[in-house]
Chain A
Amino acid sequence: MVLVLALLAMAPPAPTAQAGWSVQELMQQLARSRPSEARFVERRYLKVLEAPIELSGRLLYVAPDRLEKRTLQPSVHTMIVDGDELTIHEAGRRKPRKLRLQDHPSLWGFIESIRATLAGDLPALERFYTVGLDGTPGDWELALAPRVEAMRSVVELIRIGGADGRVRWIEVNEAHGDRSVTQIFEDSR
């Protein structure tokens, strides 16, 4: 018994869903949250690199469909998703790249994993993913597995964790072995 308890304590947080706690409720909580600004730290574990790259910057979300990711370190890049349009400003490039999400389904799915989660938009999530939920309202974790083969060849699994209707971290496991973990620190108000 002691051994079991010890094992439980050592195990990574593997919360099991509480009775009466459903994806719908989580989504409602998420949908209630207001425009939010946050600092982020992202670590990219890339197969080609010996050590992870660390990026940091700011995230801004304006419900329902605008999301800005402003990377400040190690170099300045901005990625803005607004509706169907993705704009990427790269450091050292004069003209921004503009893409329509509809033209790039995999990219769209990837963006939606974050945006639809922040919006609490379950149908949008389920359009691309099989959604699994674990944990409690105070410590939850979504597991998003791509539905479509084309997207599975890019992304294997996306995990999003948080508490009290707020997103705290995102982990993306790419199909060919790269992985990134983003921590989100919301501004205290």
Chain B
Amino acid sequence: VRPAERAAVALWLAFATLCAVLALRAEYSTDLSAFLPRSPTPAQQILVDQLHSGAVARIVLIGIEGADPSSLAKLSAGLMRRLGKDPRFVQVENGSSDILERETGLLLRQRYILSPAVAPERFTEQGLRAGLERQLERLASPLSMVASRLLPRDPTGELFEIADTLGEDSGPDRRRGVWFGREGSRALLFAQTGARGFDIDAQSAAIAAIRSAFEQARRDAGVPSARLLLAGPGVFAVQTRNAIKNDAIRVSIVAGAAIALLLLVALRSPRLLAIIVLPVATGAVAGVAAVDLAFGSVHGVTLGFGATLLGEAVDYAIYFFARAGATSADSGRGLWRTLRLGVVTSVAGFGALLLSGFPGLAQIGLFSATGLIVALLVTRWVLPQLSPAGFEARIPAGLGAALQAATARARRGRSAAYLLLALGAGWLLAAGSVTWNDELSALSPVAASDQRLDQEMREDLGVPDVRHLIVAGAGSRERALELAEEAAQRLRPLIAAGAIAGFDSPALYLPSESMQRARRASLPEPQQLGANLQRALSGLPFRDGVFEPFLLEVAAQKRAPPMTREDLEGSTLAIRLDSLLLEGNGRWQALMPLRGAQDAPAVARALGGAGPDIVLLDLKAQADALYRDYRRRVLTYSSLGAGAIVLLLAAALRSVRRIWDVLAPLAAAVLATCIILALAGVQLTIFHVVALLLVVGVGSNYTLFFDRALRSEVDPQRTLAALLLCNLSTVIGFGAVAFARTPVLSAIGVTVAIGAALSLMFGAVLTSGGGRGTNRETQAHR
């Protein structure tokens, strides 16, 4: 071994070690916001915040099934009792008590601060008179039992106003004192974790806590048949991680074994089998290191996709060992030239993602570009040093000849292939048969049945899916609350008009200080109030002295300090407040989810003049628009990448004919893959686009080798055999991925397996070899 070669190996070892260290120390994130734009609009930022830490992302929906209703109710109570004590949950509800009943004392105490009806005119003689008459009517109503007890303290009926504002009439069905689904066969609870929805480890611990609490409750209740059902963003995040992990393990084992067997048969050397993974492995750690250096952290999705894109690099070693595209004269230089061009085109394709403006996509681009270049360098400079001298894979006698004959026959089908492609393309365009799934949920790796369960429980529980949300943002808590109050004022007429059923607001639980001041100022001085009341009472049938408690409590409230968050501590109101009033980066956001928004445009109109700090969001539309935008960008940058590939090939090949030969099969493979997917009724997502990028990357190597085999003095049989070997390993590998249970993975698997097989086929069929001349040239060489 020459010193230079030894140096190459040493350099590689040092480099790989350095990268491995960096990769081990790298920070891995699973934060989906990496896949959101770098400079989001305020609306998108809110969406990201919600995904991150919003109450919506922290909800665990819990269902209990498989027993009679009374056992289910007992289990619901048992689970509630245990989880209620668990610090991992900030809130657990099973419907056994509602806010009005549980917090009557607090609400009654703070009624003059919390009631939206409090105003000066309510405590004048006329106002009090109207209030007393209203109460008199209530005494003659079915609510008389409640009204007559409250009357001495609350003659203006503020508690009734609060009850109407916090209105809980639209709650879930209750049976035996706890929430039940509509069919009555499923008890329902919901829990809110303290940890963020995407903090997968914390979510995993919370879910384990729910499961173990349920086991205990089930043992205590002696109902072994009962089952626990869980849904919600955190649950799905955990399930997804586990599913992907399981899929990855299963797929790697199956595909690894199959490919190893294939290579063992072809290369007949266990040692080669071991070193064949070195280029890919080095490329992967180098990719991780590069991404970590450039972005400060590595996203989980980058690893998944990037590693997939590196699939192309496995082929390099195979080409090398099979001496594809090499002639005896150039000692492999032809092979390297072809591979180099292949890598450069792939890098151009993936590299386009670098420019996309989405950190997540840029990471994938950088990862695969770095990985491919490093893999090629390792194949070129290290692999030869490590493999036995003069080794080359033996091609089974007859295989090469058979392949060559098959290729020659296949070329006769060219016209038919073009015709079919043209027909297919026409169909795709005419019928609009390519359908994009433009819902963000399409990105969700969660099984459809779990999504249905989530939807069902959500509807039954009436948990807002926070589709329509008003957000008031400000620099301080007070200002955010004030803005929420302003928005509320604009929304109230809409409830009466039926445009919305209602809304929630942090200011309902903690009014701004200015609002509190105004309400307190509405309360007259004790003497004045006494006089007003005296006059208001004249002619009404109330007994003397009944309203003493009212006068005393108003006087006390008038002097009371402002209500603060601390006054609500430990109550249901505090929990509601905290989930609706968020602080981050010195900004406060008041969230106001709308209930039953029938007429969103009317809401937008009502908020029209409210200034830029109050925003109405349709979160689903936002998320879907974001995703559509995302898909559009992926397509744009993929097209740019394709353009770059064409230019590169043009520069390298310098012949329209050859460029056509290399590109036509690729375009045909991509087109045909799309046709097949469309025929199968698959809705395309960005995962398919990324998979098609890989098809181009892998396929361009095939067509370059075809082109080379047909045009220069290489052994076409050897090259064809190498291509077949590469193709088989790709199809086996991604064929295994196609059977993954995670929809994302299987989409990639299906697309690449089909696309890679088609690339080889079209390479054989469409590469013209520039007519007979080149064929003769190759023949002559043989």
Any B CB within 8 A of the CB of A154: yes
Which residues of B511-560 have CB atoms within 8 Å of chain A's CB atoms? 541-543, 546
Residues of B within 8 A of A178 (CB): 145, 148
Which residues of B133-158 have CB atoms within 8 Å of chain A's CB atoms? 136-137, 139-145, 148-149, 151-152
Task: Identify which of B137, B139, B143, B175 contacts A46 (C-beta below 8 A).
Answer: B139
A84 to chain B, nearest CB (A): 8
Any A CB within 8 A of the CB of B219: no
B16 to chain A, nearest CB (A): 67
Distance, CA A69 to CA B142, complexed state (A): 9
By the criterion CB–CB under 8 Å, are B144 and A97 in contact?
Answer: no
By the criterion CB–CB under 8 Å, are B541 and A50 in contact?
Answer: yes
Residues of A within 8 A of B142 (CB): 69, 71, 77, 79, 88, 90
By the criterion CB–CB under 8 Å, are A88 and B143 in contact?
Answer: yes
Residues of A within 8 A of B149 (CB): 176
Distance, CA A98 to CA B168, complexed state (A): 10
Distance, CA A98 to CA B171, complexed state (A): 10
Distance, CA A90 to CA B163, complexed state (A): 15
Any B CB within 8 A of the CB of A47: yes
Which residues of A66-122 have CB atoms within 8 Å of chain B's CB atoms? 69, 71, 74-75, 77, 79, 88, 90-91, 95, 97-98, 100, 102-103
Bitwise, B572-612 to A at CB < 8 A (1) or not (0) is: 00000000000000000000000000000000000000000
By the criterion CB–CB under 8 Å, are B177 and A48 in contact?
Answer: no
Which residues of B107-148 have CB atoms within 8 Å of chain A's CB atoms? 136-137, 139-145, 148
Chain A residue with Cβ nearest B498: A94
Residues of A within 8 A of B139 (CB): 44, 46, 48-49, 53
Q: A102-B176, A178-B148 are in contact. Are A50 and B140 (CB under 8 A)?
A: no
By the criterion CB–CB under 8 Å, are A53 and B177 in contact?
Answer: no
B521 to chain A, nearest CB (A): 29
Distance, CA A95 to CA B498, complexed state (A): 11
Distance, CA A1 to CA B174, complexed state (A): 62
Residues of A within 8 A of B546 (CB): 47-48
B187 to chain A, nearest CB (A): 14
Distance, CA A178 to CA B136, complexed state (A): 15
Any B CB within 8 A of the CB of A55: yes
Any A CB within 8 A of the CB of B169: yes
Task: Identify which of A91, A100, A103, A154 contacts B141 (C-beta below 8 A).
Answer: A91
Query: What bracket does the count of chain B residues touching chain A fall in?
Result: 20 to 34
By the criterion CB–CB under 8 Å, are B174 and A71 in contact?
Answer: no
Residues of A within 8 A of B136 (CB): 53
By the criterion CB–CB under 8 Å, are B543 and A75 in contact?
Answer: no
Distance, CA A48 to CA B154, complexed state (A): 13
Query: What bracket does the count of chain A residues touching chain B fall in?
Result: 20 to 34
Residues of B within 8 A of A174 (CB): 145
By the criterion CB–CB under 8 Å, are A95 and B177 in contact?
Answer: no
By the criterion CB–CB under 8 Å, are B174 and A51 in contact?
Answer: no
Residues of A within 8 A of B137 (CB): 74-75, 91
By the criterion CB–CB under 8 Å, are B541 and A77 in contact?
Answer: no
Chain B residue with Cβ nearest A98: B169
By the criterion CB–CB under 8 Å, are B177 and A103 in contact?
Answer: yes
Distance, CA A176 to CA B151, complexed state (A): 13
Chain A residue with Cβ nearest B152: A48
Bitwise, A101-145 to B at CB < 8 A (1) or not (0) is: 011000000000000000000000000000000000000000000
- A/B pair count, beta carbons within 8 Å: 66
By the criterion CB–CB under 8 Å, are A48 and B145 in contact?
Answer: no
Chain B residue with Cβ nearest A178: B148
Chain B residue with Cβ nearest A96: B169
Residues of B within 8 A of A79 (CB): 142
By the criterion CB–CB under 8 Å, are B541 and A51 in contact?
Answer: yes
Q: A50-B543, A51-B541, A178-B148 are in contact. Are A44 and B177 (CB under 8 A)?
A: no
Distance, CA A72 to CA B541, complexed state (A): 21
Distance, CA A178 to CA B151, complexed state (A): 13
Bitwise, A147-178 to B at CB < 8 A (1) or not (0) is: 00000001000000000000000000010101
By the criterion CB–CB under 8 Å, are B140 and A47 in contact?
Answer: no
Chain B residue with Cβ nearest A42: B140
Residues of A within 8 A of B174 (CB): 100, 102-103
By the criterion CB–CB under 8 Å, are B145 and A71 in contact?
Answer: no
Distance, CA A48 to CA B142, complexed state (A): 17
Distance, CA A90 to CA B141, complexed state (A): 7
Chain A residue with Cβ nearest B96: A103
By the criterion CB–CB under 8 Å, are B148 and A46 in contact?
Answer: yes
Chain B residue with Cβ nearest A103: B174
By the criterion CB–CB under 8 Å, are A71 and B140 in contact?
Answer: yes
B143 to chain A, nearest CB (A): 7
Residues of B within 8 A of A154 (CB): 145
Which residues of B191-219 have CB atoms within 8 Å of chain A's CB atoms? none
Distance, CA A51 to CA B539, complexed state (A): 12
Distance, CA A77 to CA B176, complexed state (A): 28
Distance, CA A69 to CA B143, complexed state (A): 13
Distance, CA A53 to CA B136, complexed state (A): 9
Distance, CA A44 to CA B140, complexed state (A): 8
Which residues of A29-58 have CB atoms within 8 Å of chain B's CB atoms? 44, 46-51, 53, 55
Q: A97-B169, A102-B175, A102-B177 are in contact. Are A48 and B151 (CB under 8 A)?
A: yes
Residues of A within 8 A of B542 (CB): 48-50
Distance, CA A51 to CA B137, complexed state (A): 14
Residues of B within 8 A of A75 (CB): 137, 140-141
A78 to chain B, nearest CB (A): 8
Distance, CA A53 to CA B542, complexed state (A): 11
Distance, CA A147 to CA B225, complexed state (A): 35
By the criterion CB–CB under 8 Å, are A44 and B169 in contact?
Answer: no
Distance, CA A69 to CA B145, complexed state (A): 16
Residues of A within 8 A of B144 (CB): 44, 46
By the criterion CB–CB under 8 Å, are B148 and A48 in contact?
Answer: yes
Residues of A within 8 A of B176 (CB): 102
Chain B residue with Cβ nearest A55: B140
Distance, CA A174 to CA B176, complexed state (A): 26
Tell which of B141, B152, B541, B542 has the most Cβ of chain A within 10 Å: B141
Task: Identify which of A48, A88, A97 contacts B543 (C-beta below 8 A).
Answer: A48
Residues of B within 8 A of A51 (CB): 541
Residues of B within 8 A of A50 (CB): 541-543
Distance, CA A49 to CA B137, complexed state (A): 12
A76 to chain B, nearest CB (A): 10
Residues of B within 8 A of A44 (CB): 139-140, 144
Q: A48-B546, A102-B175 are in contact. Are A53 and B148 (CB under 8 A)?
A: no
Task: Identify which of A49, A55, A88, A98 contacts B541 (C-beta below 8 A).
Answer: A49
Residues of B within 8 A of A74 (CB): 137, 140
Chain B residue with Cβ nearest A89: B142
By the criterion CB–CB under 8 Å, are A77 and B152 in contact?
Answer: no
Residues of B within 8 A of A69 (CB): 142
Residues of A within 8 A of B541 (CB): 49-51
A75 to chain B, nearest CB (A): 6
A24 to chain B, nearest CB (A): 28
Which residues of A3-50 have CB atoms within 8 Å of chain B's CB atoms? 44, 46-50
26 A-B pairs in the complex with CB atoms less than 8 angstroms apart: A46-B139, A47-B543, A47-B546, A48-B148, A48-B151, A48-B546, A49-B543, A50-B542, A50-B543, A51-B541, A53-B136, A55-B140, A71-B141, A71-B142, A77-B142, A79-B142, A88-B141, A90-B142, A97-B169, A98-B169, A100-B173, A102-B174, A102-B177, A103-B174, A154-B145, A178-B145
Q: Which 6 pairs between the two chains have the least Cβ-Cβ distance?
A: A79-B142, A48-B546, A77-B141, A88-B142, A100-B174, A50-B541
Further contacts, 15 of them, CB under 8 A, given A48-B152, A74-B140, A75-B141: A44-B139, A44-B140, A48-B151, A49-B541, A49-B542, A53-B136, A53-B140, A69-B142, A71-B140, A71-B141, A74-B137, A75-B140, A77-B142, A91-B137, A178-B148
Interface residues of A (CB under 8 A from B): 44, 46-51, 53, 55, 69, 71, 74-75, 77, 79, 88, 90-91, 95, 97-98, 100, 102-103, 154, 174, 176, 178
